[in-house]
Structure 1
């Protein structure tokens, strides 16, 4: 709502809500008889009066609604299904515009943030945007109607769930350009428990195959670290851990410039603590090192080289066979 609309009278806000809903769902309710339920009883009387009697602001909104076949019914508020009973626990990626306290005041919700600029932590929205974006790009390249492309997407069954988004939302299959039997268009409410179980099994399978080749990173304490301030950067800059966030594997740190950031554990490297005596020992020359220059050649003792233990098997348990050309 704009600033002017926020200052409307209550009856004007009620009519504005009906107008917004009609225009938003224009593709569904245009040319059809629509029943609108409201808990604002004076609005029903205004709808039944001639257009010349309401105030000018209500007249303008009523004229916009005239293209829809609307029947307004009064229903007490206690019998209406309100959106206030739905979950308002929004989840965002903690950008600057969404981390302010004013955002929580406007939304009136418990604000849960994920690691910023980390698409995997906000995968549901990111994947949705990717699918719709690729579909619209292909529709433009093929000179196809983008609304028809979205209709086919909403009518396609989801892999592993066997229900389309239209069936899960409206309980029926939408009519599209493909030939279909009339009996398949009859509304049938899908079993939500079966859909949830199928979705959970698919997520567990994805988690198993993803975690099979990974290992958990050690949790961080108040120590010096090397994080990436911007995830696209290739530099690791020194910083200090301030605290650990409520979200899993999420930390807040302060860099050398005094700025505070929140990043995922994957984008943080730990600075190893090196004792002072080891630092001094590395600066001293080795006593066992002997260098002999003969015909512009430098020869070192074998004791000067560190011999590393070559692993004999991989993390999966497979034996590692070193090629003959690498054996010295």
Structure 2
């Protein structure tokens, strides 16, 4: 037997989203589409804190064909590996080709990442929205807070919680639906039904109504006389014949 009614899918989704136990047990949200950083137009335009090794700074990148040192200083840097003096002379790479190669490589990164993780865009959150918080390493959407504002960086929000203000990515935030707003909300109490007046009977009628004749005790059935052998022993039929009528 199957059950269906109009908008059954929306009703089920609304009930699940308004269920606290269901929300706390939900897995981590799907990843959003990959955001790649644009290639800076000049050296030191964008600085990031990172621990880079000397070999990384001097190695040409697969995406651009030039090393980070070449893109920053316009020349290769000296490493413990012996090299020709001519390789250390200033020589800027073709920046136009570098930008084209970088854009092509990052487009491939986004396409492969989005396909592998089956990404999904999450809607933006407005200030004042009540949300549940959970990092990928945590279990259950048990911590709650309220959105203060959206930060300048993409998909970043400031959240007011019981322990203070936290900054979280949209991937780690799930809007919390109030149980009173969904079809799973508790039903309102039904209006009280007025009691019907109880008919009043006189004493004689009430006595006759509640009196009943004395019940007669059931007649006791006479116990069957067991058969006996010629020596006086009682004959007991085998247990396997107890469901059969013997003559």
> Could you say which TM-score interval applies, normalised by the shorter chain?
0.3 to 0.5
Q: What's the TM-score, normalizing by structure 2?
A: 0.45
Structure number with higher helix proportion: 1
Could you say which structure has the greater relative contact order, defined with CA pairs below 8 angstroms and 6 or more residues apart? 2
Q: What's the TM-score, normalizing by structure 1?
A: 0.36
